[in-house]
Structure 1
Amino acid sequence: MIKVENLHVSYYGNEVVKDVSFEFNTGSLIGIIGPNGAGKSTMIKAILGLIPKDKGTITVDQQSIDEARKKIAYVPQRNDLDWDFPINVFDTVLMGTYPKLGLIKRPKEREKELAKESLKRVGMLDYANQQIGELSGGQQQRVFLARALAQEADLFFLDEPFVGIDVASEKKIVDILKELKDEGKTVFVVHHDLSKVESYFDELILINKELVKAGKVKDVFIYETMNKAYESSFAFPRIEGARA
């Protein structure tokens, strides 16, 4: 279980995430949605301790984030990464095994096999020796998902994984995320395409700086709640399948 209580985050004195609380059990695929500037990425970075929070408590199986860090994998937005860094695909994925090795130990045959299997799972094993910057956007995103898989985590956080990628890569990634859920993993995805919410996710976190609602898709993805979050009547009613 992951539990977030009373999370507040500020930038330069301006509160950008306020009073966010939710909890989810294992085996869930959770979409994080909301308008541009709603604090979606900021929220997950604060949950993971990548940026400071003003206040709030985050626990994973009753452990602090620091205690549970080895259980957690994070795939950042593609524009947060240095694609010119001279590293190939295989070594990028192998880095996913480092957190459980510690500072001194070096990857051995088990870790190398795990990296290969992770690349195979995302359909990128044939690209193992290519420099990461030579790949397409969809291929890059698959590689970083493979790195997360190599971590053997229980919780996965992906920040806008479908932006700027091809349809085939998006389908492959979604299929793997659903497999992870079926394996008992908990997966959080910052997502912006409302037309795919119902087909991708089981549960949702809807925020606009503060939490609007969290829970099952059927309870969150409804007309009144979505219009409250988006502060507009033009965006949501056009979404096919929306319930009034």
Structure 2
Amino acid sequence: MSSAIQVEDLYVSYHGNTALKDVTFSLEAGNLLGIIGPNGAGKSTLIKALLQLIPRDKGQVTFLDKTVKEIRKQVAYVPQRNDIDWDFPITVLETVLLGTYPKIGMFKRPKKNDKEWAYECLKEVGMEQFYKRQIGELSGGQQQRVFLARALAQKAELFFLDEPFVGVDLGSEETIINILKRLSNQGKTVTVVHHDLSKAENYFNKLLLINRELIGFGSVNEVFRPEIMAKAYKGQFAFMKEIGVSV
């Protein structure tokens, strides 16, 4: 079976300082992958480098045996909330409609069926009643659900989410993870930058552990082990004990 995501020898640096080095892994379609690691480990850098949102120093990345440029329409990305201009004058429904643009084209007006599809995506995340609201009027959890709806509207094969659970309420978090699991069960490939280790075992079926370089990659049982986690978190033993990892 061909890989949904294939990464070979990836290196990334900022102003001459190494951010990621020698990252190599292969992920098959239908997996729900959590990217974990300590603060400053390069989790967000990795996802942005995969999508060519930042330059790579070296390395090869393919999605379904194609380059990012070749398969861009099939890749949906949900950035961190602090990367979004919440004051931009756009409604909830208009935000979700943006997810249809890769298919219909940037300079074509959405048709009735596109608007109906966007509304259906809002219903899936439980936000249809807010469709006329300006996005800045929503709570953090509501905003994150709207941007997930935008990703759903794209009808993508690969989904990348950068810290989707930060600053959201428990109800929104449950809604989001249930949708991500459903996408995975449908054969879609979902990659999530995640910081809360206490939920990693319940949320993902694969984990990628980094601290500027790849420390562990595989099933949750293979990666979520004391000797593997300690390599990434090093001296943070008290923190690891708090989340139930015996060291």
Q: TM-score range by the shorter chain?
A: over 0.9
Alpha-carbon distance in 2 for matches of 1:3, 1:153: 18
Quote the sequence identity (%): 61
Give how far 1:243 is off. 6.4
Alpha-carbon distance in 1 for matches of 2:109, 2:6: 34
Alpha-carbon distance in 1 for matches of 2:171, 2:106: 37
1:72 equivalenced with 2:97 (yes/no) = no
Cα deviations by residue, 1:172-209 (Å, 9 ceiling, x for unpaired): 00110011011111101100001001000000010000
Report the secondary structure of 2:107's partner residue. coil
RMSD in angstroms over aligned alpha carbons?
1.0
Give how far 1:110 is off. 2.0
1:203 equivalenced with 2:218 (yes/no) = no
Task: Give TM-score scaled by structure 1 length.
Answer: 0.97
Alpha-carbon distance in 1 for matches of 2:75, 2:69: 10
- Map 1:1-244 to 2 at 5 A: 1-232=4-235, 233-240=237-244, 242=245
Alpha-carbon distance in 2 for matches of 1:75, 1:62: 22
Cα deviations by residue, 1:121-143 (Å, 9 ceiling, x for unpaired): 00000000000000000000000
Structure 1 moving runs of 4+ over 4 Å:
none
Structure 1 range deviating more: 95-104 or 132-141: 95-104
Task: Give TM-score scaled by structure 2 length.
Answer: 0.96
Give how far 1:235 is off. 2.3
Report the secondary structure of 1:105's partner residue. coil
Structure 1 range deviating more: 101-110 or 57-66: 101-110
Structure 1 range deviating more: 37-46 or 104-113: 104-113
Alpha-carbon distance in 1 for matches of 2:87, 2:48: 24
Give how far 1:46 is off. 0.6
In structure 1, runs of 5+ residues without a counterpart are none
Cα deviations by residue, 1:67-113 (Å, 9 ceiling, x for unpaired): 01111000000000000000000000000000111233221122111
Report if the CA contact (8 A) 2:89-2:134 is conserved.
yes
Cα deviations by residue, 1:21-79 (Å, 9 ceiling, x for unpaired): 11111111100000000000011001001010101111111111110111100000000
Structure 1 range deviating more: 115-124 or 99-108: 99-108
Alpha-carbon distance in 2 for matches of 1:145, 1:55: 31
Alpha-carbon distance in 2 for matches of 1:59, 1:138: 32
Report if the CA contact (8 A) 2:12-2:55 is conserved.
yes
Alpha-carbon distance in 2 for matches of 1:91, 1:103: 13
Cα deviations by residue, 1:198-237 (Å, 9 ceiling, x for unpaired): 0000000100000001110000000000011011222223
Structure 1: which amino acid aligns with 2:242?
R
Structure 2: which amino acid aligns with 1:235?
F
Alpha-carbon distance in 1 for matches of 2:36, 2:194: 6
Structure 2: which amino acid aligns with 1:96?
G
